[in-house]
Structure 1
Amino acid sequence: APFGLGQKTTVWARTLPLAQQLVESGHTVTIVIPPWDTPADSGRSWLDGGVRIINVALRGGLLLVLWRMMRTLTRLRPDIVHIVKPRAHAGLVQWLLWQRRRLRGKGPLILLDVDDWEQAWAEVNNYPPLVARFLAWQEEWGIRHADGITAASHWLVERAMAYAPATPLCYLPNAVTPPNNIAPADFRSADFASADITSTQRAGAQILFYSRYVEVSPEWLATFWNVLHALQPDATLVVFGDALQVGRTLQFQQAMTELAAVAATAVCWQPYRPDLVDALYRSSACAIFPSLQGPLLEAKCSVKLATTMLQGVPVVASAVGEQQYYGANGAATLVPPSATPAEFAEIVAQVLAAPKHHRRQQANALERLLQTYDRRTLGQTLAAFYQPLLEH
């Protein structure tokens, strides 16, 4: 893995659930982590759902961390090493394993899992030019030097095929875990637990927008909300999440004030807080997932979208990237990628005006997610992908 079980979602939301399903299929699975994002885990190991999690010690810097990761893999003697993201520590381990196997003529199968297009994040994360070029090289080299590839989105499948057309490839989107009670329920009744948010609540519909402030432009959001607020004057908007770029939240707030002065008073800008998530789901009339087209958003496979749908919140989403697949068959209200902010707002207004449709969408979402994206189903898909590679 490239990092630990912290705020980054890949390992705990994607890698670990799939690993647990592999254990249920009879495999022995270990996740080796350089926990630079969770330093308190340095040197610790434990079992989680039958999966052994090993956090190598961080002391001594990059080279010693890599040495410990390689030493751990040598001791485990795995049949398969499945690299999670071809970047940073994980990408370097892939390179070392490939070179060692080339020199010795033997070694484990080296598979690669891609769940994002890292090059698209270079500008967002403000990487220095040399770092951006190195990570781009790692990403492309990793795809070209793998015995098999798992990809979380159709966009990534196409990109991997372009770089490595002869490499076995498996489409493996992010899985969902069925709730204890999978019957649709009325999630609309509870009030907020947060005084900050309740101060902006109105009697009308509340719209939830999970955001990292990269999905749309500040002008897009301001125009959208100005139109929707005119159609639904008692509606409120909660923008929930933390910006990935310093100063980005302020840009959105300024655009909202300048382009939608009246509507701006009905917006709550709430930084991410885990303890507010359930209350937001219960109190929101719908959630929006607008998305501009481009590699950044087309490559990703949104855990937040799937979780929101699974919780029974009516969803309006741009038909961009994996959103069009998660939301298919009536599981979400899909908006054409070419829709203007005003057109998106009009569709949201229509959804808010048809509460009887919500129950049907909840049922469609549950059926869609639990039949197509259930973790057990996708775990079986991964196990089936491994089998011929192991027999070869």
Structure 2
Amino acid sequence: MTDVTTGGGPGAATPAYLIRGVRVLGAEPTDLLLAGGVVAEAGHGLAARGARVVDGDGLVALPGLVDLHTHLREPGREDAETVESGSRAAALGGYTAVCAMANTSPVADTAGVVEQVWRLGREAGLVDVQPIGAVTVGLAGERLAELGAMAESAARVRIFSDDGHCVADPRLMRRALEYVKAFDGVIAQHAEEPRLTEGAQMHEGEVSTRLGLTGWPAVAEEAIIARDVLLAEHVGSRLHVCHLSTAGSVEVLRHAKKRGVRVTAEVTPHHLLLTDERAASYDPVFKVNPPLRTAADVTALRAALVEGIIDIVATDHAPHALEDKECEWAYARPGMLGLETALSVLLDVLGERWDLIAERMSRTPARIAGLAEHGRNPAPGVPANLTLVDPAARRTIDPGEQASRSRNTPYAGLTLPGRIVATFLRGEPTVLDGKAVR
């Protein structure tokens, strides 16, 4: 029997947890002992004096999920979300790390702002919050932000993005790629040629024609991706494509990867499940950027995710205050919640393909972001960042039960598979029995 320290006062060691009979990535049941911030032991019939026991019967253990694309809104729009509320939503969704986008107010384009977000994440202590820095000052697309200062700050920023805005100037994009190459950074592009999407309300196609709404053509995304993979190839730098959404973009990416371009890409849960037909309701909850596409696009995105042409799933969790969503379609802000439902959507789309889910939602995003403590399968000596899932559970999504300050989920009323039972960050539970611990 192993002796473990359970603590009990200020500065005491983290209590140990013994998870009995859990299936790691769907394999045969085993026991996991979490102590000292790591998986201390794995095997059958483990015992540990003083450890708190978690019943893992019927549950699957995954490496803690990592989201490369989260909007936490703080500073500036705390009415929609805060670092703490977004972190709680992430933990309830099975995440142990999230990358916070830069379109806050003020914009995260200086070392001071990214350090503020990083410290707020540490204070919340629910997930590791890794800030993403802006590529350009104020997201204006005119001059580079303080990329080096943000990289050298306490936040150690490695991903930079003007998400919500495209870095449309090719000279500026080239300079950004050249700059971050020095420290193996990543430019994450919001691929949208703005001159092709002026006034756009939804995907350009049969449905937009029928509804009389200005369309957002697929080529506006595909043209920027094609340009940027050429720039990344020329510079030899790392490019990441945010929220890829069209079948044509998949083919551009496929061609680039065959040539060895250092490019990765993400797809959102909503682009894997929902189509532009949802816009026919004129419900602004379905307004998003890039827009929901056609059924053919959804099919192509799913196939590309399985094949590995698309590297990861990222939520693009975009909370909005009620007044920004509960209004006429034309005036509504684009964006959807995603953190608390992403794994359920993937289970609905892919089924119980646990290793593939772990690769796309944990291991690969952790590698892209350089989060060495995350994205590692539960095993002895590995940091105890993991989530326990009940695959047999089904739940009907109720916006009022979500931890986010906002309610703009596109899945309200849908019944989806899977339930997060527990999430552990460095061996400490942030979620137990499906409820946030703090």
TM-score for both structures, normalised by structure 2? 0.32
TM-score for both structures, normalised by structure 1? 0.35
- Higher gyration radius (CA): 1
**Greater fraction helix:** 1
Pick 1 or 2: higher relative contact order, CA cutoff 8 A, min separation 6: 2
